[in-house]
Amino acid sequence: MKYSTTLAALALASSAFAPAFAQQALVPAQSQITFVSKQMGVPVEGQFKKFDAQVVFDPAKLAASKISFTIDTGSATLGVKESDAEMPKPIWFNVAKFPQATFVSSAIKSLGGGKYEVAGKLSIKGNTQDVTVPVAMTQSGATTTATGAFAIKRLAFKIGENEWADTSMVADDVQVKFKLALTGIPKI
C-alpha cells in the first residue's frame, strides 16, 4: 500500500547563524520526527530517520532567535517494505525532484512556563505553507528537549496525488510530532 501520507513533515531547513550560537546543536540519537495519518480510518504512524536542525535560541532574545529544519524525505518509513518503496515515488514525496522538506521560523513567541509558539514556513514537495507550531521545552543538565505536535493537510503539499487524492482512502489530515534534544540552549 502507498501510505506516504505524510510527511509531515515537518519538517524543516538549515541556514547560517551567528557564531555566538555555534555551540547550539541537535542531538540526533535522542531526537525524532514522526507522523500519523489515517488510511481507511486506521491510524498509521511513520517516521523520518534523517533530519537536521539549525538552532539559534535564547529565551531572553526571542526576536533574534531562529529555528530551521531540513528533513530527508527519502528517509520516511512506515515500517512496511511495500509502503516504504512507494513513498519516494512522484505521486507521494517525489524524492528525486524534492529530496528535502524544510521549515524556517519567522517568529517565536513565549507563552510562559517553557511553552512557545513558533511561526514559520513549511515547504514540502515544492509547496510552502505558513504553520504555527506549539513547542514545550524542558531542561535536564546540558540537554534541552523540545516537544510538540501540529497538523498539516497533505493535499496542500501534493502528497498522494491522482487516485491517492481521495481522502476516503488516505485522510488529508496528518499529525506531525517531534522530540528534539538540543545542547547549548541558555536557561529557560
For the chain, residues with pLDDT lower than 50 are: 1-22
Domain boundaries, the chain: 19-183
What would the pLDDT profile of 135-176 be if each residue is shown by its tens digit? 999 999 999 999 999 999 999 999 999 999 999 999 999 999
Eight-state DSSP code of residue 160: S
Say what the pLDDT of residue 4 is. Answer: 35
pLDDT at 16: 35
CATH of domain 19-183: 2.40.128.110
Residue at grid coordinates 535564547 = 58
Q: How far apart are CA 51 and CA 72, in angstroms?
A: 6
118-to-13, 68, 99, 131, 132 alpha-carbon distances in Å: 14, 11, 24, 8, 6
Grid coordinates of 69: 529544519
Are 177 and 149 a contacting pair, CB within 8 Å?
Answer: yes
Do the Cβ atoms of 148 and 8 come closer than 8 Å?
Answer: no
Instruction: Evaluate if pTM is beyond 0.75.
Output: yes
